Amino acid sequence: MSSPFSYRGGQLFAEDVAVASLAEQYGTPLFVYSRSHIRNQFRALAAALSDLKPLICYAVKVNSNAAVMATLAAEGAGADVVSAGELLRARRAGIPANRISFAGVGKTEAEIEVALKEDILLFTVESEPELDRISSCATRLGRTGRIAIRVNPDVDPKTHKYISTGKKENKFGVDIQRALQIYERAAQLPGLEIAGLHMHIGSQILDAQPYAEAAEKVARVCSELKARYPTFRMLDIGGGIGIQYRPDQAPLLPTTFASAVAPILKPLGVQILMEPGRVIVGNAGVLVTRVQYVKRGPSKQFLIVDAAMNDLIRPPLYQAHHEIGAVRETSKTVFGDVVGPICESGDFFALDRDLPAAQQGDLLVVHSAGAYAYTMASNYNSRPRAAEVMVEGARHELVRERETFDDLVRGEHIPHW
């Protein structure tokens, strides 16, 4: 899929809007999202998997902006949520409750009750005590909790260890060897309906092989469950499809993913759910930032920008690579780092690289900032969170206001004593 960010006449455009004009109007740091790209990615995934007709539950944690979710809701997406906050956000953006699955290892009673009252499609259950809790909440409310147990297929997705979730040493899911036993237990609990099985092996996976391996393993369990429980009808294969962060990196194409898993999943005759996030929004966004100072060190230059690790924490958290581009095209480069103003050595976007030769006041963009960026933002160093803008063709609109000082101190007080 081609990028929605391209140069025209030496200026970077987001679809048909000059990024410099967005920075002028809305200020920096600024997240800019392409609506067409989000929609195209969703459609490409749906088309690649058309044989399976999956319910695509967008992973809200990846980018929970209402405008992003409303774009996907209009395409017929469901949502994969991991908290009551995400659930209510998804509902507010127009995603129907019967397309929402609720994952996560630590669901509280209050969160389970919200989900039961909303009558969501599915709880993906991560442990036996969680089964007990959903059962007792459902019984108390006179509701039914539809459940899919998350099994851990113990495959190596060959990704960063912080985003690998399907190995036996990870906190997620239950041991695949014990899955049938745990389903038996679920069948005995009141207020539950055995609806399906869930897996999610990790994120930013670039190779289809681990998916095929995991699908083979869970397919065997699914066939057994289908034979045992007449209500068993869904298999949720999670998210994780990897995208291109570096120019030399090959993304996992939806078509490659589909060819690896569809032949294994189709014969099961169950409704397939999936929970993609990054592949839909990752390359739909950039973080626009202005150079505040150029500091010349003995061996390299530091481009000190007005965005920081509180806006995008992926480089220090996951040693993640993000391409850095200039808003005004240049072929000149300098060697060095792009760093933020936060008092941490971990506050960087790029280290020891050839960078666009930017001067004080110039605009840079951090690419691939649509996923796990704003949703992981914080107020560290008392920095207000950035604004977010959506573009479509020549249109653009502020879809989240920049935080203010009042936002920073809201709800905080000094004891009268």
Ligand X SMILES: Cc1ncc(COP(=O)(O)O)c(C=O)c1O
Q: How far is the CB of 137 from ligand X (least distance, A)?
A: 21
Of 334, 378, 372, nearest to 356 (Cα)? 334
Catalytic residue among 57, 137, 222, 343: 343
Place of tokens 């249109």: 395
Distance between CA atoms of residues 54 and 276, nearest Å: 11
- Cβ proximity to ligand X: between 271 and 292 the closer is 271
3-state helix vs strand vs coil in the chain, percent to 5: 35, 25, 40
Distances (CA, A) of 344 to 101, 235, 316, 348, 387: 37, 44, 10, 9, 23
Report the alpha-carbon distance of residue 121 to residue 96 in Å, rounded. Answer: 9
Structure tokens at 238: 């999670």
Token digits for 197?
Answer: 């099985």
Write down the least CB distance from residue 165 to ligand X, Å: 6
Find the shortest distance in angstroms from Cβ 357 to ligand X: 34
Paired sense of beta strands 387-392 and 30-34, if any: parallel
Residue 250 carries which DSSP code? P
Q: How many CB atoms lie within 10 A of CB 8?
A: 10
CB 303 within 8 A of CB 338: yes
Structure tokens at 406: 């009042």
Is residue 398 within 8 A of residue 388, CB to CB? The reply is: yes
Q: Kindly give the interhelix angle for 179-188 and 209-228, rounded to the nearest 10 degrees.
A: 40
Residue 41 pairs with which residues in a beta bridge?
none
Distance from C-alpha of 18 to C-alpha of 106, rounded to nearest angstrom: 43
In whole angstroms, give the CA distance from residue 122 to residue 277. 18
**Identity of the residue, 80 or 130, whose beta carbon is nearer to ligand X in the bound complex:** 80
Which residue, chain included where needed, has tokens 């914080």? Answer: 378
Binding site for ligand X (CB under 6 A): 59, 62, 80, 103, 200, 203, 238-241, 275-279
Q: Which residues make Cβ contacts (< 8 Å) with residue 45, sequence separation at least 6?
A: 56, 241, 254, 276, 279, 280
Rounded to a whole number of angstroms, the minimum distance from the CB of residue 266 to ligand X is 21
Nearest distance from C-beta of residue 44 to ligand X, angstroms: 14
Q: CB-hemisphere CA count at 13 Å for 153?
A: 25
On the CB side of 179, CA atoms within 13 Å amount to 27
Is 222 noted as a catalytic residue in this protein? no
The answer to whether residues 243 and 276 touch, using CB atoms and an 8 Å cutoff, is no
Query: Which residues carry out catalysis?
Result: 343
